[in-house]
Amino acid sequence: MAKVVTDYKKTPSRKWWKITIILLASLVMLLGIGSSVAYWKVNKSKPVISGEVVIDGLDYKVSAIRDTKGVPHIKAKSTKDLYMVQGYVTAQDRMFQMDLSRRQASGELSEVIGKKTIDKDRYFRTLGLRRAAQASYKHYSTQAKQALQWYADGVNAYLKEAKGNHALPIEFILAGYEPSAWTPIDSLTIGKYMAFDLGGHWEGQAFRYYLLQHFSKEQAFDLFPSYPTGAPDVIEAAQQSNIDVTKSMAKAVIPHRFNGSNNWVVSGEKTASGKPFLADDPHLGLATPSIWYETHLQDDTQNVRGVVFAGVPGVILGSNDHIAWGVTNVGPDVQDLYIEKRNPKNKHEFLYKGKWERATTVSEPIKVKGESTIPYEVTITRHGPVMSEFAQHSSSDKVLAMKWTALQPSAELQGVLQYNKATNWNEFKAALTYFHTPAQNFVFASTDGTIAYRANGLIPIRKQPYTSLPVPGWNDRYEWKGYIPWEKLPTVVNPKEGFIATANNQVIGKEYPYHLTDTWAQPYREARIKEVLRSKKQFSLADMKSLQTDHHNLQAREMLPILVPLLKKSSLTSQEKKAIALLEKWNQKDDAHLAAPLLFNLWMEDLPRVLFAKKINKKVLRMFDGQAQVTDQLIRRAAKGKPGPWMKEAGGLQRVAEKSFKHTVAAIEKMQGTDLDKWQWGEYHVARFTHPLAAIKPLNLFFNPKPYAVGGSRVTVGAAGWDEETGSVDHGAAWRTVIDMAKPNQSDNVVAPGQSGHVLSEWYDDQISDWVDGNYHRTYTDERAFKKGTTLTLVPSK
């Protein structure tokens, strides 16, 4: 059973009367209004989910039935009506989230929040996700543009209604603004933001650039994902450049370093039903509301269900009557930083092949709530936007510009809308020709028995081998000469082993002729998935669910035999010896009620601090892309008698292990006392699903769900990453799904914390305990979905 954690400030339960009292008090205090007016505003903000609503532009009646978990089942006679109502219903549940999402990606948060977000806005204005979305729009087909516009029309129908009835979500009232009309570009910008969130390793290039500027080659290369060869001019350029990344890039917005996912498909030869199983659980940020919105769309051309980002039409991950699909992040090297030489006489010119070449400049004024508009200009070289000056720090003669596939025009949403209607592998694969960024590991299953895999996306081929560093931009040696041919992307269909699994691991060996990346995730999740899928001849759907929430820690299996014997040779207190005994008796499962996971995971967290924290600038250390993988490798090398310079300078592996272990025991004693029997991973490792407005006290009491103790860790299949300062679990699989292709009209799912973004809704946080305990709800795409539903009928105006 899920265990609710009592914080020092207890979060109230979702009792309506308690919620209303807290909200009324908050509204009265923050807005200076009367309690009766506050109560009226609370009630007015609740979405209409039953009865009849008139929407201008509809051609026919449309039903939107929310099932017992709040999943909307939208049934329409035309595709136009289907996407209009999808926009309307999604806005009903998630309008504030949608508005914040487009604002963050566009660099427009300061307009409604104030000066606290100016640096973030500068960064996203410089990066140019919205500019890339605008450039992409013209590459969409007429049909896809129509879908985008129909969706926007539905969102705007909701906005018109909510504004007219003074019924916008209460977050808008508290934030003091009204959202503007929705546009197709807003949807595409959110899509570009997801490409950003799943990244491409630019920060690792910046970090290694810093290493070469401040440390010896031997020290720098020790922390590279692979030893650099054949690029002396790149290394020399990095060492001689005067760009200070501690100032110029310190405030950059860097995606979560553990962003990733699990997915797998199992052949019908290994399943109880005789048809393939598919399982998928993408790992992204955990917050309120969920990043994912579950939905079911049906018209004469499609019957598809799954999840989508609020603000985007269609279904990104899910299934239809014939096929199912899921994704994990490939994480290829699709971003390159170029060192550009600036003309000392003209700041807008940069050297290329012996000539000064004028860059493009774009005006991006930043509106700030309560302040004057800030004039801001973005410089774009032939390689991309100049990223090293967004923090208002300028070097005299060199800058860093970013080239990135996602800043080029692309039409991913067209691929999504097309594969929603696919009926077999060939049709699905054809739709993927439009899906360029972010590059994803797609797994596929169909009712005809096919299982398949494809690493799909636009991945550059470079003139010179990838260097892991920023490259000179003043000649053409390091340009991209094209992309991996579509027909050459890694693909597997119906393998003999009877399953395919990915977990952001290395997906193909050295025999592959093209470079994907040097920075893969730690191998432990993928190894555990394959270990289980090889463990028996036949699996049930329950086995798939159990695997999605599996807490076996294979890092502990590898590292404890290396490190514990070294600790036993060290000088330890009696308390520290008891702690070692905990680890030796441990079953190596990261369960919430156990002490050993707390000890082991915080120990692994402290090891890189001992190695790097005192020598590497703190502002730059967060750019250490692949830090966990590199640390693992340093330990493996040292254990084999080949310690590198960082391990040697820290006193050797035994000294590092001992020092970090002592730190860890002392830190846990401070948090949970000296009685080891009372230590629990779940007392520290807590899921809170924080709401964006929770930073404003006392709104945290109102918007944040109850906190729950959770198991798992960053390296378990049941992934649960945490904030190192607070222990709050802020990263993992907000969406889990398992599908048996013998019954394509149903799937078992969970969306944490829940479907609705409205705090007064019964579906606001009703799925957290299921998420913690590994339980699922069943979503149907036939009439069974509608038996206990709440029906909203949307009708055209006369």
Q: Which of 482, 438, 468 is nearest to 193 (CA)?
A: 438
Q: What is the per-residue pLDDT for 702?
A: 86
Distance CA 356, CA 397 (A): 13
| DSSP designation for 10 | P
Alpha helices by DSSP H, listed for 432-504, are none
**For the chain, domain boundaries:** 554-588+595-679
Q: Are 623 and 254 in contact (CB under 8 A)?
A: yes
Q: What is the per-residue pLDDT for 301?
A: 96
Q: What is the per-residue pLDDT for 199?
A: 77
Q: What is the per-residue pLDDT for 123?
A: 95
Indicate the pLDDT class of residue 30, thresholds 50, 70 and 90.
low
Q: Within 10 A of 349 (CB to CB), how many other CB atoms are there?
A: 17
Average confidence (pLDDT) over 166-182: 94
Q: What is the pLDDT of residues 118-168, one digit of tens each?
A: 999 999 999 999 999 999 999 999 999 999 999 999 999 999 999 999 999
Q: What is the per-residue pLDDT for 13?
A: 42
Catalytic residues, by residue number, are: 261
Q: What is the per-residue pLDDT for 9?
A: 34
Bridge partners (DSSP) listed for residue 325: 318, 444
Q: What is the per-residue pLDDT for 697?
A: 81
Q: 569: Cβ–Cβ under 8 A, 6 or more apart, which residues? A: 654
Indicate the pLDDT class of residue 202, thresholds 50, 70 and 90.
very high
Please name the helix (run of DSSP H) or strand (run of DSSP E) that holds residue 263, with its range, or none.
strand 260-266
Locus of tokens 């694969």: 429
Q: How many residues does the chain have?
A: 798
Indicate the pLDDT class of residue 444, thresholds 50, 70 and 90.
very high
Q: Which of 660, 648, 631, 655 is nearest to 566 (CA)?
A: 655
Q: What is the per-residue pLDDT for 566?
A: 97
For 35, the 3-state DSSP assignment is helix
Of 6-20, 241-255, 267-281, 734-748, minimum mean pLDDT range = 6-20
Q: What is the per-residue pLDDT for 230?
A: 61
Q: What is the pLDDT of residues 632-661, one digit of tens each?
A: 999 999 999 999 999 999 999 999 999 999
In this prediction the pTM is: 0.95
Average confidence (pLDDT) over 553-564: 98
Q: What is the per-residue pLDDT for 35?
A: 54
Distance CA 665, CA 658 (A): 11
Taking phi over 0 as left and psi of -120 to 50 as alpha, with beta for the rest, 230 belongs to left
Q: What is the pLDDT of residues 302-337, one digit of tens each?
A: 999 999 999 999 999 999 999 999 999 999 999 999
Indicate the pLDDT class of residue 8, thresholds 50, 70 and 90.
very low
Q: What is the per-residue pLDDT for 11?
A: 32
Q: What is the pLDDT of residues 569-621, one digit of tens each?
A: 999 999 999 999 999 999 999 999 999 999 999 999 999 999 999 999 998 99
CA distances to 278, 355, 423, 438 from 427, in Å: 18, 48, 7, 20
Q: Which residue has the higher pLDDT, 448 or 200?
A: 448
Q: What is the pLDDT of residues 359-407, one digit of tens each?
A: 999 999 999 999 999 999 999 999 999 999 886 666 668 999 999 999 9
Of 40-54, 358-372, 501-515, minimum mean pLDDT range = 40-54
Average confidence (pLDDT) over 506-533: 94
* HEC per residue, 93-132: HHHHHHHHHHHHHHCCCHHHHCHHHHHHHHHHHHHCHHHH
Q: Are 411 and 144 in contact (CB under 8 A)?
A: yes
Q: What is the pLDDT of residues 63-114, one digit of tens each?
A: 999 999 999 999 999 999 999 999 999 999 999 999 999 999 999 999 999 9
Average pLDDT, the chain: 93
Please indicate if the annotation marks 333 as binding a ligand.
yes
Q: What is the per-residue pLDDT for 12?
A: 35
Q: What is the pLDDT of residues 230-276, one digit of tens each?
A: 667 788 877 778 888 888 887 889 888 777 899 999 999 999 999 99
Please indicate if the annotation marks 197 as binding a ligand.
no
Q: What is the per-residue pLDDT for 683?
A: 97
Q: Which residue has the higher pLDDT, 228 or 684?
A: 684
Give the percent of the chain with pLDDT over 70. 93
